[in-house]
Amino acid sequence: LRRSGPSPLGDSMNVSFEFFPPRSGDMESQLWESIMRLAPFGPDFVSVTYGAGGSTRQPTLATIKRILEETELSPAAHLTCVNASREQVDAVAREFWQAGVRHFVALRGDAPEGIGTAYNAHPDGYRNAAELVAGLKAFADFEITVSAYPEKHPESPDFMTDIDMLKRKVDNGATRAITQFFFDNDTYERYVERVRRAGIYIPIVPGILPVHNFQQVAKFAGLCGASIPDWLATRFEGLDKDPQTRALVAAAVAADQVMDLVERGVQDFHFYTMNRAQLVYAICHLLGLRAPKAGGTVTSIAAA
């Protein structure tokens, strides 16, 4: 590990954590154990994903409601436009608003047939995330976070088209972007430079994915246009049946990436937790965060 020297650590670091809604009782326990473990770091917000094609509308909402009722955390609900008319998406936004949601991660989403298949917008629907941001802002003054793609979205013909979409999302009211995961920090840095040159000044928060399972991550990366550097594949080589060593290597890889970003001046991090706390907890500790921290204390988590 590099020693971070004079880099800003601890109180100047801002983190957020992403969770997915549980599909079973066991998964619910794992989710809540993870939320409980990470909450004392006082994240800016915790976000809950929205399943492909709106398949998790109720579980997403139920998770958000529980976060609001049982913790002092600030939740953000992911929302997509897949397979839904504007009216239907607006109705979901209204339901979430009534539940107390004031922050959306607004996304277009992927075709129901799966990532990589052609996306056809609903004939009466929002065609992309920029239109969704405008629709949400017209409904209420939500805080809006959107996606950004350091290696460009696979459907974008070029970086200019891709960054133009980000610009439209910002023009319509988005105030933060979280990136797709990446492993090459130079790629992220070059992307932020391009974004700034395009006149976009919102925070471009790196999305950090701890590699719990290299094969799965490599497969997913292939679908969503994130590249896997050779050195990463080499580090996990031969560890498929050795979970303990894999976990240690994953911690070293993630810590190295995050501390290098700190040296490059990054102070905000979003973690794709995959509903597992341990690795993310260790990385937050390395960032100088210490629990408990005012603002993120869990008041009670009944029946976790």
Q: Give me the active site residues, please.
A: 18
- Say whether residue 178 binds ligand FAD (CB under 6 A): yes
Helices 185-197 & 243-263 angle (0-180, nearest 10)? 40
- Say whether residue 49 binds ligand FAD (CB under 6 A): yes
Q: In whole angstroms, what is the distance from residue 177 CA to residue 144 CA?
A: 9
Q: In whole angstroms, what is the distance from residue 36 CA to residue 297 CA?
A: 9
Which of 28, 44, 110, 151 is the binder for ligand FAD (CB under 6 A)?
110
Please state whether beta strands 176-179 and 143-148 pair in parallel, antiparallel, or not at all (unpaired): parallel
Size of the site for ligand FAD (CB under 6 A): 24
Which of 57, 108, 176, 246 is the binder for ligand FAD (CB under 6 A)?
108
Q: In whole angstroms, what is the distance from residue 282 CA to residue 284 CA?
A: 5
Interface with ligand FAD in residues 201-230 (CB under 6 A): 207, 224
Q: In whole angstroms, what is the distance from residue 79 CA to residue 77 CA?
A: 6
- Say whether residue 103 binds ligand FAD (CB under 6 A): no
| E-only strand ranges, 182-250 | 204-205, 207-208
Q: Which stretch binds ligand FAD (CB under 6 A): 161-169, 212-220, 226-234, 282-290?
A: 161-169
Structure tokens at 239: 């560890």
- Say whether residue 80 binds ligand FAD (CB under 6 A): yes
Q: Which stretch binds ligand FAD (CB under 6 A): 25-33, 65-73, 84-92, 103-111?
A: 103-111
Q: Which stretch binds ligand FAD (CB under 6 A): 154-162, 188-196, 250-258, 292-300?
A: 154-162
Q: In whole angstroms, what is the distance from residue 38 CA to residue 44 CA?
A: 12
Q: Say if CB 135 and CB 126 are below 8 A apart.
A: yes
- Say whether residue 156 binds ligand FAD (CB under 6 A): yes
In this structure, which amino acid lies at residue 260?
D
Residue 59 or 207: the one with the smaller Cβ distance to ligand FAD is 207
Q: Which residues bind ligand FAD (CB under 6 A)?
A: 49-50, 52, 78, 80, 105, 107-110, 119, 128-129, 147, 153, 155-156, 161-162, 165, 178, 180, 207, 224
